[in-house]
Amino acid sequence: MFIPPGDKDDMHCHNADQTFYVIDGECTMHFPDGGKAVMKPGMVATITGGSFYQLENTGAGPMVLMGNRSGPSEAIQHINYELRKDIKTLSREEIEKIRHGGNVPISG
């Protein structure tokens, strides 16, 4: 993954374990309880399946990560924290909003 400075993804989880290795830059992992972990080159993090997190490039330059998930790729789900739905089932409008780390209003 190559992520420009200031960019972040949505708060989400996967149904499989995931490992990240920071190659370059600074990655801040945010968690729903307000906690965070700052990762720098050479650091590794493992996120267990079902644990919500958000990645943000908090460095001055590009953030380069290498990552993998356990299990077959076609079975992997990306579950948005606010909606509690797999992004494969979301509307185009909902996907655009969460792609930029924005809040998605939860409808009835």
| pLDDT band of 26, cuts 50, 70, 90 | very high
Under CATH, which architecture does the 2-99 domain have? Sandwich (2.60)
pLDDT of residue 99: 67
- As a whole number of angstroms, the distance between CA 53 and CA 10 comes to 8
Contacting residues for 3 by C-beta, under 8 A, at least 6 apart: 25, 27, 55, 57, 62, 63, 64, 65
Least confident range of 31-35, 71-75, 84-88, 95-99: 95-99
Average pLDDT, the chain: 87
pTM of structure: 0.80
Question: What local confidence, expressed as pLDDT, does residue 74 receive?
Answer: 87
Mapping DSSP to helix (H, G, I), strand (E, B) and coil, where does residue 107 land? Answer: coil
> E-assigned strands of the chain?
2-3, 12-14, 18-24, 27-30, 36-39, 44-47, 54-57, 63-69, 78-80
Domain residue spans in the chain?
2-99
